[in-house]
Structure 1
């Protein structure tokens, strides 16, 4: 049995979540660290008994979080598959813990789409923070409209920056209106579906908003993302789940889509987002929900404390290059959030135009 000194997690989060634990090696360690933050189910369960336990629960008594300890025989893998096949358990958060290192199992866990995988020893604060975020974000995900109105971090855009955004985006939209019409016709002639692709993105202070782009992929491309994880530029950095997703030679892109992507024409509808105030001309790129979920540790949340933008340091630094690591991109985002200014914005805008001419295959 692994024991560890209790780490004081005295900050209260307001999270009311029930946690059930299946395993023995790390049980005492986990209970000592999470008991102050969550409702820990006292039953001593293992992989053999956890299935029976869940079958005896009603929809009102099912746990919010299931912590599963990876066993030497790999029984946890088949058990997770059973949970994923049961539609009544789809809302449950699943995190796998391992008392020993096994990179193959970590990769298997990500393939099974568990919410996270931790190998002992790991900081208890990281596990606690991750669970709190998953509870707040995933379990209330159907309430995205209400969630987007509850901004925990308020970024007040400087008046000069906002005036600049309105003038540049407004004038640009007027000038580009005929060009927008031509692009729209070309997109519709090649493939069926809406001309403008709209998705939920996470911007400043984790605020969620509708993000606009010219559609560059075939219809239904979002549903194919899980089958293309082996092409993710950032996935090669570690066997776990990468925070960013950038598909190399994406097979979902149409012929017109490839052209408007390589020239960044597909990004132009975001001028409407700038005009509306969802984002700025310069800032950190708003992230898809599945990417924002991965950036919840104290080290990386800084990027959400600055303005979201149409272009930024990442775009002018190594846009489209294969040697852009996930850590490098995070550092660029954090640097801009901490050091942004009007003059830095001007430098980024001036360097953006040459960057637009780069051929991007990722």
Structure 2
């Protein structure tokens, strides 16, 4: 069923593709989620956008000269800010380089997974829904639910973060020097995070990992602390329902030209963890372990608080790949609260306490519903007691 937004409109996608087979496949896969318009060239896309600039997303095939398209978008004030997803055959695309920076929000390679694209599309739709609800006049009285930072909380953040940065500036200088001497790489690490109202920003820390940490992540999936403990199921295994039917699969699903049981497949997918965290992480440097155990690596986030990206207390901002998994309404509620340096989850489940990703979400949602100055003060006090942690995570 086509997603209808709060104002009665649909999420609109302009797909730029001259291959009729690819265009038809895209329309068939995503037309039930969004309103799809297909054009076959760069010129048609620019003409369409000038005539109707209210497009939510452009999906552009790199083969049709994406560089010229992005430069034209940049120079045309009538079109305004536009989000673009690039389809490409290139092995690597630097989204921080021109002309991609600020205009291309994601890259999918030819032969991409429709499920992965659907997840990204659902995230963008939910983000727009949230923005519309946030500015709805009838919801103004529910400031917490709509993700609006209370003025008193913001003034407190500005004052305290400025004073703390001033006081600890000598310590920041010493740590910066030590990080540079300990291992090669930059002093600070800025990673993309999704915070309050689905705002994406760069969250800063002192670098505590090796420069190849991201490349090591894929090989460490089995060590994820949030993995659900389960018996491994073979891909050709059938479910209990199929076994009762004499071993004949009642719900066959074809993936990569191979038949699997649909029920087993989705049970396996559901069991995959939503968050990533590791004990005795081999990516962490020698100095990084000390900085993490004392939480000194978090100190540059006072700058994020001063900027307004975060608050002292809130829900931890998530990497985009984690935030995109929390698109269900019950999960999305956590993004109504400010992103925080510390929060209810950290002080409730700090140290050796067992924690699942579902427990973490529930605590985040609870904070979003009930946060107040009194709640924040309690969390700050408990954070000060827990800050000298002993757990290497």
TM-score by length of 1: 0.65
Residue 37 of structure 1 and its aligned partner are, at CA, apart by 4.0
Residue 235 of structure 1 and its aligned partner are, at CA, apart by 2.0
Q: Residues 171, 135 of structure 1: CA spacing in aligned structure 2 closer, same or farther, 3 A cutoff?
A: closer
* Counterpart among 270, 286, 305 of residue 301 in structure 2: 270
* Counterpart among 339, 350, 362 of residue 381 in structure 2: 350
Partner of 2:277: 246
SS in 2 for 1:197: strand
Verify the 8 A CA contact 1:320 1:361 in the aligned structure 2.
no
* Counterpart among 170, 175, 190 of residue 182 in structure 2: 190
Residue 191 of structure 1 and its aligned partner are, at CA, apart by 0.4
Verify the 8 A CA contact 2:187 2:206 in the aligned structure 1.
yes
Deviates more, 1:242-251 or 1:201-210: 242-251
* Counterpart among 274, 277, 282 of residue 313 in structure 2: 282
Q: Residues 89, 281 of structure 1: CA spacing in aligned structure 2 closer, same or farther, 3 A cutoff?
A: closer
Verify the 8 A CA contact 2:333 2:368 in the aligned structure 1.
yes
Question: Which whole-Å CA distance do the structure 2 matches of 1:286 and 1:86 have between them?
Answer: 30
Question: Which whole-Å CA distance do the structure 2 matches of 1:227 and 1:269 have between them?
Answer: 29
Verify the 8 A CA contact 2:3 2:10 in the aligned structure 1.
no
Q: Which whole-Å deviations, capped at 9, do the CAs of 1:148-175 have from their partners, x for residues lacking one?
A: 9x95646332221112111211111111
Verify the 8 A CA contact 2:345 2:360 in the aligned structure 1.
yes
| Residues matched between the structures, number | 271
Residue 361 of structure 1 and its aligned partner are, at CA, apart by 2.2
Over the aligned positions, Cα root-mean-square deviation in angstroms equals 3.5
Q: Which runs of 5+ in 2 are unaligned?
A: 16-22, 39-60, 65-86, 92-106, 136-146, 231-267
Partner of 2:355: 324
Verify the 8 A CA contact 2:2 2:35 in the aligned structure 1.
no
Question: Which whole-Å CA distance do the structure 1 matches of 2:340 and 2:316 have between them?
Answer: 5
Q: Which runs of 5+ in 1 are unaligned?
A: 1-6, 23-29, 42-56, 61-82, 97-114, 117-126, 138-146
Verify the 8 A CA contact 1:93 1:134 in the aligned structure 2.
no
- Superposed, 1:57-136 pairs within 5 Å as 90=109, 93-95=112-114, 115=116, 130=119, 132-133=121-122
SS in 2 for 1:216: coil
